[in-house]
A and B are shown apart, each in its own frame.
Chain A
Amino acid sequence: MLTSYVPIFIFIVIAAAFAAFTIVFARLVSAQKPNAIKLEPYECGIEAAGDARDRYSIRYYLIAMLFVIFDVETVFMFPWAVSLGKLAVFGLIEMLLFLFILVVGYFYAWRKGALEWQL
């Protein structure tokens, strides 16, 4: 049973080996003449300003939170979709109830402006 994963295992090994090989090979072959301007982080030609660890807006948290909630909802739909043939109408009603409860939350988020993005 586990042997059916051997191709994936080989794939992982080859991918890791390829990444390691390109990094090491580039390090060995490339000419390295660094100066201060070359070592600056590239930001579309604009001079970099500030720290990468700047404070983010709380909207990122809200969007990520909504993503996690609807992610879990989707996860519940996969086994439902696979076994819907045996569950028939009963399964459809169940899932509609489930979705209705979560759509209430969706409209709450909408009304409260959690989906808006003005800074």
Chain B
Amino acid sequence: MFESILFYTLAAFILGFGVLVVTARNTVHCVVFLVANFLCVAMIYVMLGAEFLAIIQVLVYAGGIVVLYLFVVMLVNLKRGPDAAPDRRRQSRVGFVLAAVMLAEISAILVYSAARPASAVAAAAATPLQTVGNTEVVGMLLYTDYLIPFEVASMLLLVAMIGAILLAKKEI
């Protein structure tokens, strides 16, 4: 019962803030709605038993990436955004097509879930994922089975750092 209320509230917040991110005229407002959206998604991760993911959602997304976005919005500082005169006809056409795809997707999920008894799935989900801490399980997987992707990730971060410095170098 508590879980249901929490899930529907969080889902409403996530989708509401998502709509605001996509529709808000002022880019700074978009960034603020994006932070709120990320924090609600972090709470969804806690509900799913992925505590470590929730922490890095707050640390990296809400605390790091969004700050980067905010600085870039401040840097370019447009008085009149590119969306000042939007093409209404094009927007509504694309929107209808996407809404139809969305409807098909959700109904497919519902039909599939109706074919399988939901109670069995819920019972399986109710048992805890593991007895040791979530972070330790993730760490053991990351540093044994996924060793190569981990080292490649460091290479990716190095390339991103050097590339970003090169792109911004002209003004240093």
**A-to-B contact residues, CB < 8 Å:** 1-3, 5, 53-56, 58-62, 64-69, 71-76, 78-83, 86-87, 91, 94, 97-98, 101-102, 104-105, 108-109, 112-114, 116
Q: How far is the CB of B14 from chain A (nearest CB, A)?
A: 17
Chief secondary structure at chain B's binding surface: helix
B75 touches A67 (CB 8 A): no
- Tell me the bound Cα distance from A79 to B144 in angstroms: 12
CB of B22 closer than 8 Å to a CB of A: no
List B contacts of A65 (CB < 8 A).
68, 161, 164, 168
Q: A68-B67, A74-B59 are in contact. List 13 more A-B contacts (CB 8 A).
A: A1-B128, A2-B2, A53-B28, A56-B71, A60-B71, A61-B68, A69-B157, A75-B60, A79-B143, A82-B133, A102-B157, A112-B172, A114-B168
List A contacts of B171 (CB < 8 A).
58
Residue of B nearest to A8 (CB): B46
Q: How far is the CB of B63 from chain A (nearest CB, A)?
A: 7
Whether A68 contacts B64 in the complex (CB less than 8 A), given A82-B133, A83-B139, A86-B140, comes out as yes
Residue of B nearest to A100 (CB): B154
Cross-interface CB contact of B158 among A53, A76, A104, A112, cutoff 8 Å: A104
